[in-house]
Amino acid sequence: MRIAVTGASGLIGSALVRSLESDGHHVVRLVRRPPSRPGEARWDPHRQQVDTGALTGCEAVVHLAGAGVGDHRWTDAYKKEIRDSRVLGTAAIAEAVASLDTPPRVLLSASATGVYGETGDRPVDENAPPGDGFLARVCQDWEDATGAATEAGVRTVLLRTGLVVSRAGGAWARLFPLVKLGLGGRLGSGRQYWSFIALHDHIAALRHLLDSPALSGPVNLTAPHPVTNREATEATGRVLGRRTPFPAPAPALRLALGEMATEVLASRRVLPRRLLDSGFDFAFPDIESAVRAALDNS
């Protein structure tokens, strides 16, 4: 199968490309710089330009690109970058896909569990309405930007991803070193729910969704047993053989992180109802097994 991937150098994208290529699929990497290797093609999300010639013959497009939410403090300029990189980029990919004489049969397009806003300890699945706040609004616009592909009859799946457990990136890439040094601890009260997923399961879920013609629309990519931040931190400590005695109080997080602290302290208890109903089997369904998998496979 010929599959185009944006964000192919990121945490999820690079793992997906390895998985696809190991099974003999031909991957077209859409890159924002001038192509320098075979299999690369140019796109510019801000100018909404895509090399549609490179998409010709693709049976699937996996769109994962977007500026990192936690990469910088949320200034007004960076909040605009977070939104534009997602909304403009997704619209460009969707319109490029729709313009093809023979569009791909499926578009998997990144989104996030941030769409649900603050849920407290209330479990939510894909039937829950969108929430409030900056990231919830961004996620809604991000998902809406796939409209051109949907209207063209392309099966479009919205990948509402939780916190990916990996040493190579995301929240755990920052947590692991602190816990190893004995400096880990809960964030704020620690009672906020973290809906996580092992990187291995995320890639397996993407492969499952590529081959599941009955699935379209929003799909939660989270493990079936979300845990609180305190439980996630303590599980990481147990696996590493370290105590986690040093909490980061909410006021200190707000001082250090600014508006982004609202996301660190937000609680989202998200369940992968549609994945489970489709027969997907999680290899690492609980937090301790997901942490062990991250250490074993990094």
pLDDT score, position 255? 78
β-bridge partners, 4: 28, 61
Please state the CATH superfamily assignment of the domain spanning residues 2-296 in this structure: NAD(P)-binding Rossmann-like Domain (3.40.50.720)
Residue 298 has pLDDT above 80, yes or no: no
User: Cα angle at 87 between 81 and 90, to 5 degrees?
Assistant: 125
Long-range CB contact pairs, 76-82, < 8 A, 24+: 79/134, 82/138
Location of structure tokens 């990469």: 71
**Residue 45 · residue 65 · CB < 8 Å:** yes
**What span, in angstroms and rounded, lies between the C-alpha atoms of 32 and 27?**
16
Range 239-267 burial, b when 16+ CB lie within 10 A, else e: bbebebeebbeeeebbeebeebbbbbbbb
Residue 192 has pLDDT above 80, yes or no: yes
Residue 127 has pLDDT above 90, yes or no: yes
> Residue 33, CB half-sphere, CA atoms under 13 Å: how many?
5
Q: Are strands 40-44 and 49-50 parallel, antiparallel or unpaired?
A: antiparallel
Residue type at 104?
Answer: P
Maximum distance among all Cα pairs of the chain, rounded to whole angstroms: 59
pLDDT score, position 70? 84
- pTM for this entry: 0.95
Return the closest-CA partner of residue 189 out of 102, 236, 253, 100: 253
Lowest mean pLDDT among 104-108, 137-141, 196-200, 248-252: 248-252
- Report, as an integer, the average pLDDT of 123-147: 97
Q: What is the pLDDT of residues 6-24, one digit of tens each?
A: 999 999 999 999 999 999 9
- Report, as an integer, the average pLDDT of 180-202: 95
Q: What is the pLDDT of residues 44-94, one digit of tens each?
A: 998 989 999 999 999 999 999 999 898 888 999 999 999 999 999 999 999
Is 273 exposed, middle or buried (CB count within 10 Å of its CB: 0-12, 13-18, 19+)?
Answer: middle
